[in-house]
Structure 1
């Protein structure tokens, strides 16, 4: 297993990365990443919703030694996308993402070496998931 502290450090890099998205214009913020794909706003909301789910469900289940259960992805992600289009400001959505990710990282750091390996593995997979979306968004930003 990877060192939990290193996994969490990597996981926390999303905070600084997301901060630079505050400078986007609305056209870029709401433009789909590709035809039929989510917008940057929807992806950010998607990441936020998953972090919230980790805080309220995944961490507790892993610490208790229970199986980690996940919601149905499509309806879950649809709710996140709906939130992105609810009228929430870019600044507020990005603040919520950063605050939630920081809270999740604090929870994980508090576990220290007692972090269950299943949770460390799940966080590593989530870091890879973040990177996938970050690369998508960076690709759009590099085209501007």
Structure 2
């Protein structure tokens, strides 16, 4: 596992987020599908989890503690509520980029042994899907996959939005 390469990949998402600056506000705030979030809510969701990693996960790993994640649905609702509070499009993008850049900087500064130290996540020692032992490095790979899932959703929605507005 090349941890520095993974962290660099994690940083690359900043370019994608920055490109969303040009999405018009209607597309930015419309749900990507019936019963789904808008692009703005997805971006807020990504920023919210980056903030959690910065505030809770990295400090725990630095102290040699295990990782605890909050209830996903409850925590994800915070991101949606934040968008609905009136945060401006450009401000949310700026906050998301700054948060990711700070997270990436701190990840690059972490000792390699801390990144690869085995931890439990919410009491589990291994990923239930892959059987891989948990470590911060593994968690970052999971977050990269998470980013890519949301990126694909946004790209598909933007493609569909363009084809319906012509």
Range class of TM-score, shorter chain: over 0.9
Per the alignment, residue 93 of structure 2 pairs with: 94
Is structure 2 residue 143 aligned with structure 1 residue 126? yes
Distance in 2 between the 1:13 and 1:84 partners?
Answer: 23
1:63-111 Cα offsets, whole Å, 9 max, x none, are 2221100011111111110101111111000000000000000000001
Q: Secondary structure at the match of 1:35?
A: coil
Could you tell me which residue of structure 2 aligns to residue 110 of structure 1? 109
The two structures, once aligned, show a CA RMSD in angstroms of: 1.0
TM-score under structure 2 length normalisation? 0.83
CA contact (8 A) 1:63 1:116 kept: no
Length, aligned pairs only: 143
**Where does residue 28 of structure 1 map in the other structure?**
27
Runs of 4+ in 1 over 4 A off after TM superposition: none
> How far does residue 140 in structure 1 lie from its aligned partner after superposition?
0.8
Higher helix share: 1
Q: Matches of 2:40 and 2:141 in 1, distance apart?
A: 23
Q: Taking structure 1 as the reference length, what is the TM-score of the superposition?
A: 0.95
Relative contact order (C-alpha < 8 Å, sep 6+): which is higher?
Answer: 1
| Gap runs ≥5 in structure 1 | none
